[in-house]
Amino acid sequence: INGFEELELDYFDFEEFISVSKKNLPINNLVGLFLQSGRSKFGEKNILLRQSFTLLELEILKYLALNLGQQISISKIFIELKKRLKTSKDSVYQAIKKLENTYVIYTLKHDEKKLQKIYFKDFGLRNNLCISKDFSHLFENLVLSELFKFKEDFFYNKYFNFYSQISKIAYISSPTLDIDLIKLRTKKILPKALELGIFHVIFITLSSEDSFFEQGVKFEVISFDKFSLGF
């Protein structure tokens, strides 16, 4: 419509979650509560899942929940789903595009190869779809949800979980890695950062913090709460 601008409304980020939860808890407890409950109502009641998605969409979402953070192809999803229900590869493709266009999932593309990973716009939905204790990939999804604020396209490769080709900043989800191991990892990462022109690499952790430079590249280690509340 002429004179009107389309506005995309996202789910709660961590700062908004703290504001609406109104719970007087230590920050680490709030991070844990956020991880558990998610960014919207989908993290609360299973009945909402049945009301909001078709059977095919639910089966796709269950598969994605079990394979969070893994490289995924439409063919691989189709092969798995046709064991349980009658469908076609085109139907699976169309359902995934619908879930993406309605902001249920987010497709993260590899920066060079025709590969992709699929994350949830609200990681609370993932929690409601499976009981997997894969904390590492759930934390990845948590970090990505905060990056949505930038309204940029992000990519991944074997070195970085997420990086922007525009801002030249890379992000690595490392919830439990200690500083010494992170510093060892930077030695492997540095050549790729220099190749891509990345000047800032951020490790997001649960609690560790540090900052140092290597050949002009800033490596920053920061806790998730400070990372998310520092925008």
pLDDT of residue 8: 58
Q: Are residues 125 and 47 in the same domain?
A: yes
Domain boundary among 85, 100, 132: 132
pLDDT band at 79 (very low <50, low <70, confident <90, very high): very high
pLDDT of residue 217: 97
In a domain, 87, yes or no: yes
pLDDT of residue 6: 55
pLDDT band at 41 (very low <50, low <70, confident <90, very high): low
Structural contact between residues 100 and 107, judged by C-beta atoms closer than 8 angstroms: yes
pLDDT of residue 132: 74
Q: What is the chain's alpha carbon radius of gyration, rounded to the nearest angstrom?
A: 19
Structural contact between residues 200 and 218, judged by C-beta atoms closer than 8 angstroms: yes
pLDDT band at 52 (very low <50, low <70, confident <90, very high): confident
In a domain, 181, yes or no: yes
Q: Are residues 112 and 196 in the same domain?
A: no
Q: Are residues 92 and 148 in the same domain?
A: no
In a domain, 55, yes or no: yes
Q: Are residues 122 and 174 in the same domain?
A: no
Model-level pTM?
Answer: 0.89
Count: domains in the chain: 2
State which residues form the domain around 228.
Answer: 136-231
pLDDT tens figures, 141-174: 999 999 998 989 999 999 999 999 999 999 999 9
In a domain, 224, yes or no: yes
In a domain, 51, yes or no: yes
On the 0-12 / 13-18 / 19+ scale of CB atoms within 10 A, 163 is buried
On the 0-12 / 13-18 / 19+ scale of CB atoms within 10 A, 29 is exposed
Domain boundary among 132, 167, 199: 132
Average pLDDT over residues 168-196: 95
Please determine, for residue 43, whether its predicted confidence score (pLDDT) is greater than 70.
no
Q: Are residues 141 and 110 in the same domain?
A: no
pLDDT of residue 37: 80
In a domain, 53, yes or no: yes
Please determine, for residue 89, whether its predicted confidence score (pLDDT) is greater than 80.
yes
pLDDT of residue 19: 85
**What are residue 170's phi and psi, to 5 degrees?**
-115, 150
In a domain, 23, yes or no: no
Dump the DSSP string for 1-32.
-TT----PPP---HHHHHHHH-----HHHHHH
pLDDT of residue 36: 85
pLDDT band at 134 (very low <50, low <70, confident <90, very high): confident
Q: What mean pLDDT value characterizes the chain?
A: 89
pLDDT of residue 25: 86
pLDDT of residue 101: 94
pLDDT tens figures, 116-127: 999 999 988 888
